[in-house]
Amino acid sequence: MRAKYRGEEAFEHSAGKTWDCRRVMIAAPKSGSGKTTVTCALLQALLDRGEKATAYKCGPDYIDPMFHKTVIGVPSCNLDTFFTGEKDTVRLFCKHASDGSIAVLEGVMGLFDGLGGVREEGSSYHLAKVTGTPILLVADVKGMGRSILPFLAGFLQYDTEHLIRGVVLNRVSGAFFETIKPLIEEELNLPVAGFLPDQECFRIDSRHLGLVMPEEIPAVRKRLSEMAKVFTKTVSLSAVCEIATEAEALSDEDSGKEIEEDGEGKKSCGIKETESALKKGGRAICSPVIAVARDEAFCFYYEDNLKLLEEYGARLVFFSPLHDKKLPEGCQGLLLGGGYPELYAERLSENTAMRTAVKQAAKTGMPIVAECGGFLYLHDTLTDRNGRRYAMAGVVSGECFDTGKLVRFGYVEMQEREGFFLPEGERIRGHEFHYYDSTDNGDGVLAYKPVTGKEYSCVMAGETFWMGFPHLYYPSNPNFARRFVEKAHNWI
């Protein structure tokens, strides 16, 4: 009898099930409105009330899910309709959903901001629409008076699916809230769930790639507790839960897509193809060990990427390029995710034992996947924004440096020039967001911008390595994860 891949049982268990999961999306008119603050305060308040909560992040963000995990203690997953399309996104949601729980989905950017800022695909609204999730709008209305009404009216008029079920007013006083609340509810027929005062406990600092990480905030657990206490005083938790109960049952029946061709005849595959591969995919893989860099410098990982590697048979072992002196014993593959290596460049450089171990692993042909920050680490040198130059792992013959501006930003589709990690002609989707550049970005992959159609070369790709700036989302083409695990399994 054929041995099963790990994870096959999970697919068999979840496929075709109907999920009666209460859920609400925390969205906003624009970035910086307080989505993460409200999401974290709500999650903490729900836990304090004894609710079982799960969390999701719309879009390709890494840091917001870290905050979610800090609150609820279990990983938060990304959902993105550009990465995985409508049906597969529903399937991913159902895969992580739990009956009896309440799911909180944090939106991205402005509610209707999708691909290129102009398309619905990839927007918070598109995700809410395909998952049937009611929306609680968080509006930063500091400095506004009655103008709040036409401001909100515009969003309600544009909400053709009538998903906006309530609003939270951010950065207002209690006295003004009591004045404006009845006007909003009477004139717009929009429930006002509450408000957030303009207090220090609700502020989260940012840097060039987004919010600071949770562990960088002093006494972060205490701060979250303070946020939840204020939140429950100024926002009706029962009103928010009532909005969540308005979500109808969701089914992932027939939600997986088979391999399809896009308008240019290029093949792509989705979650259903993963299931097919798991059930029909020849011999089982005997748990090759993939070493995953995870510490203060390397921390940007999509939870579903890691899960997919495990479902194809990999055993993930985490290590620290900052603190450890050698790679995990017996590892057969190396995954270096993104993060902030530039902030820890001196300490990374001083750890010569680890730099040597990584370079030696590359010399022996150990399969390596490196994205953005991980790609920076593999260079000969890294020069930070202050002009200080540090030795790195020396796998990539080149130098990386701070440009002082955003080099690339946004979604991309990628196709290898030769089929090393992807079958010929297939694409994988991802995202770029970096201020650093390299003297050699590679030319093993052709990247396509989905809105403008612009093309450019990137990524060093070979039989045993994929190293470049783009962050990949494996479920957009599970063949990448499958081949990575196979390469690790076959490495001696």
Which pLDDT does position 433 carry in this prediction? 92
pLDDT over threshold 90, residue 401:
yes
pLDDT over threshold 50, residue 314:
yes
My answer on whether 110 and 183 are in the same domain is yes
Which pLDDT does position 476 carry in this prediction? 98
Distance between CA 8 and CA 14 in Å, rounded? 10
Which pLDDT does position 96 carry in this prediction? 86
Domain end marker among 190, 215, 250:
250
**Which DSSP helix (H) or strand (E) runs through 338?**
strand 338-339
Which pLDDT does position 250 carry in this prediction? 86
Residue span of the structural domain in which 271 resides: 260-490
- Give 399: exposed, middle or buried? Use CB within 10 Å, 0-12, 13-18, 19+: middle
- Of 34-43, 252-261, 362-371, the range with the highest mean pLDDT is 362-371
Evaluate whether residue 12 is within a structural domain: no
Question: What average pLDDT score do residues 194-209 get?
Answer: 68
In sequence order, the β-bridge partners of residue 334 are 291, 368
Distance between CA 400 and CA 157 in Å, rounded? 48
My answer on whether 225 and 297 are in the same domain is no
pLDDT over threshold 60, residue 13:
no
My answer on whether 217 and 306 are in the same domain is no
For the ranges 134-143, 248-257, 398-407, which has the lowest average pLDDT? 248-257
pLDDT over threshold 80, residue 332:
yes
For the ranges 23-27, 221-225, 355-359, 371-375, which has the lowest average pLDDT? 221-225
- Give 47: exposed, middle or buried? Use CB within 10 Å, 0-12, 13-18, 19+: middle
pLDDT over threshold 60, residue 437:
yes
pLDDT over threshold 70, residue 112:
yes
Nearest residue to 175 via CA among 198, 152, 153, 191: 198
Predicted confidence (pLDDT) per residue in 228-279, tens digit: 899 999 999 999 999 999 998 887 664 443 333 443 434 343 444 444 444 3
CA angle 333, 337, 338 (to 5 degrees): 160
- Please state the domain count of the chain: 2
Domain end marker among 209, 232, 250:
250
Question: What average pLDDT score do residues 82-99 get?
Answer: 90
pLDDT over threshold 50, residue 74:
yes
My answer on whether 228 and 337 are in the same domain is no
Whether residue 76 contacts residue 69, with contact meaning beta carbons closer than 8 Å, is answered with: yes
Which pLDDT does position 271 carry in this prediction? 42
pLDDT over threshold 70, residue 453:
yes
Percent of the chain with pLDDT over 90: 74
Question: What average pLDDT score do residues 49-64 get?
Answer: 93
My answer on whether 398 and 304 are in the same domain is yes
Q: How sure is the predictor about 58, in pLDDT bands with cuts at 50, 70 and 90? A: very high
Evaluate whether residue 4 is within a structural domain: no
Distance between CA 39 and CA 26 in Å, rounded? 7
Task: Write out the catalytic residue numbers.
Answer: 372
Evaluate whether residue 375 is within a structural domain: yes
Q: Where are the beta strands (DSSP E) in 236-314?
A: 250-251, 260-261, 267-268, 289-293, 298-300
My answer on whether 188 and 279 are in the same domain is no
Which pLDDT does position 276 carry in this prediction? 42
Tell me the pTM. Answer: 0.88
Domain end marker among 216, 250, 284:
250
Percent of the chain with pLDDT over 70: 85
My answer on whether 87 and 54 are in the same domain is yes
* Dihedral Cα 479, 302, 408, 390, nearest 10 deg: -110
pLDDT over threshold 50, residue 102:
yes
Whether residue 296 contacts residue 322, with contact meaning beta carbons closer than 8 Å, is answered with: yes
Question: What average pLDDT score do residues 287-300 get?
Answer: 96
Which pLDDT does position 471 carry in this prediction? 97
Q: Give the CATH number, domain containing residue 209.
A: 3.40.50.300
Evaluate whether residue 228 is within a structural domain: yes
Evaluate whether residue 11 is within a structural domain: no
Q: Give the CATH number, domain containing residue 355.
A: 3.40.50.880
pLDDT over threshold 80, residue 298:
yes
Which pLDDT does position 492 carry in this prediction? 72
My answer on whether 238 and 208 are in the same domain is yes
Mean confidence (pLDDT) of the chain: 88
CA distances to 145, 343, 396, 402, 435 from 347, in Å: 51, 9, 19, 18, 21
Question: What average pLDDT score do residues 131-136 get?
Answer: 97
My answer on whether 207 and 310 are in the same domain is no
My answer on whether 236 and 272 are in the same domain is no
Q: How sure is the predictor about 312, in pLDDT bands with cuts at 50, 70 and 90? A: very high
Q: How sure is the predictor about 1, in pLDDT bands with cuts at 50, 70 and 90? A: very low
My answer on whether 245 and 319 are in the same domain is no
Which pLDDT does position 283 carry in this prediction? 42
CA distances to 47, 123, 392, 450 from 114, in Å: 31, 4, 37, 11
My answer on whether 342 and 392 are in the same domain is yes
In sign, the C-alpha dihedral spanning 235, 238, 244, 247 is: negative
Which pLDDT does position 214 carry in this prediction? 64
Q: Where are the beta strands (DSSP E) in 171-314?
A: 192-196, 206-207, 210-211, 250-251, 260-261, 267-268, 289-293, 298-300
Q: How sure is the predictor about 181, in pLDDT bands with cuts at 50, 70 and 90? A: very high
Evaluate whether residue 1 is within a structural domain: no
Task: Say whether 78 sits in a helix, a strand or coil.
Answer: strand
Question: What average pLDDT score do residues 53-61 get?
Answer: 95
